[in-house]
């Protein structure tokens, strides 16, 4: 599946209605893992979407590393013209590493601890962070949701996009239940049916030079680039 082409098709559709009377810049909740990975994605999407960055990464170890990455992200947003001109916002969720260990069950399934990146441990980590961001996007009524994770060559874009699609399907199932309730004469919240639900924006941001561009922007803006993904298990030296 070519997720970059899917993304380009959606962007073309949005661009095609830009000059219509009813057009309003669609909102996008962008889950971000760090400043360097966010850099190119913001440059690529900020003119098309009203972006809010969502920083939720309790997998990051140690705590000092978590806050260092957050500060680098803030520093970039304060200096990057695309972020400033397009009023890119930042939401920071809580940092509780126990959420990561509980979601991945990695303490008890010890074989996951020694897996290389892109394995089941990573898939579970993608899923629980994306689910948290997705829930926030739906609650706050964002038009679109995606994550910067696919920009890294160390991340499995297929797994990331499958997770996103599955999250979107949960809304479709809820709407089916709402329609069934209507058929049975039960009371429903009509506002749920008036407002289009949050959609997942497919991506493979590393494609078309995306990862390379992120390294260039990091160098240009003096962003510190970490040398491991984030969790304690990714710190090991092979």
Cα–Cα dist 179/233, whole Å:
45
Extract the annotated binding site: 33-34, 122, 125
Extract the annotated binding site for [4Fe-4S] cluster: 33-34, 122, 125
Task: Determine contact, residues 231/59, Cβ cutoff 8 Å.
Answer: yes
- Residue 142 gets which letter from DSSP? -
Task: Determine contact, residues 3/157, Cβ cutoff 8 Å.
Answer: yes
Cα–Cα dist 36/226, whole Å:
9
Six token digits for residue 162: 């499958």
Distances (CA, A) of 83 to 27, 89, 144: 14, 8, 18
- Cross-strand pairs, 147: 31
Sequence-separated (6 or more) residues with CB below 8 Å from residue 124: 103, 104, 105, 106
Task: Indicate the angle between helix axes 157-183 and 120-140, nearest 10 degrees.
Answer: 40
- Count CA within 13 A, CB hemisphere, residue 204: 14
- Residue 86 gets which letter from DSSP? T
Q: Which among 161, 134, 146 has a CA at the least distance from the CA of 41?
A: 146
């Amino acid at each position: 599946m070519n997720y970059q082409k899917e993304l380009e098709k959606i962007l073309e559709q949005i661009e095609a209605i830009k000059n219509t009377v009813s057009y309003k810049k669609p909102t996008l909740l962008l889950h971000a893992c760090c400043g360097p990975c966010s850099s190119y994605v913001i440059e690529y999407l900020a003119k098309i979407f009203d972006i809010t960055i969502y920083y939720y990464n309790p997998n990051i170890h140690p705590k000092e590393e978590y806050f260092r990455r957050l500060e680098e992200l803030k520093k970039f947003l304060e200096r990057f013209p695309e972020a400033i001109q397009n009023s890119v916002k930042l939401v920071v969720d809580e940092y509780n590493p126990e959420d990561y260990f509980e979601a991945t069950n990695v303490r008890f399934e010890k074989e996951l601890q020694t897996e290389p990146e892109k394995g089941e441990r990573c898939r579970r980590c993608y899923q629980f962070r994306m689910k948290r961001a997705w829930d926030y996007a739906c609650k706050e009524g964002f038009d679109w949701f995606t994550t910067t994770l696919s920009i890294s060559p160390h991340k499995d874009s297929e797994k990331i996009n499958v997770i996103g699609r599955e999250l979107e399907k949960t809304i479709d199932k809820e709407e089916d239940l709402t329609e069934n309730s209507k058929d049975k004469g039960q009371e429903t919240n009509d506002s749920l049916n008036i407002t289009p639900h949050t959609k997942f924006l497919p991506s493979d941001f590393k494609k078309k030079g995306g990862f390379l561009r992120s390294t260039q922007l990091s160098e240009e803006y003096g962003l510190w680039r970490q040398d491991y993904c984030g969790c304690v298990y990714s710190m090991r030296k092979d």
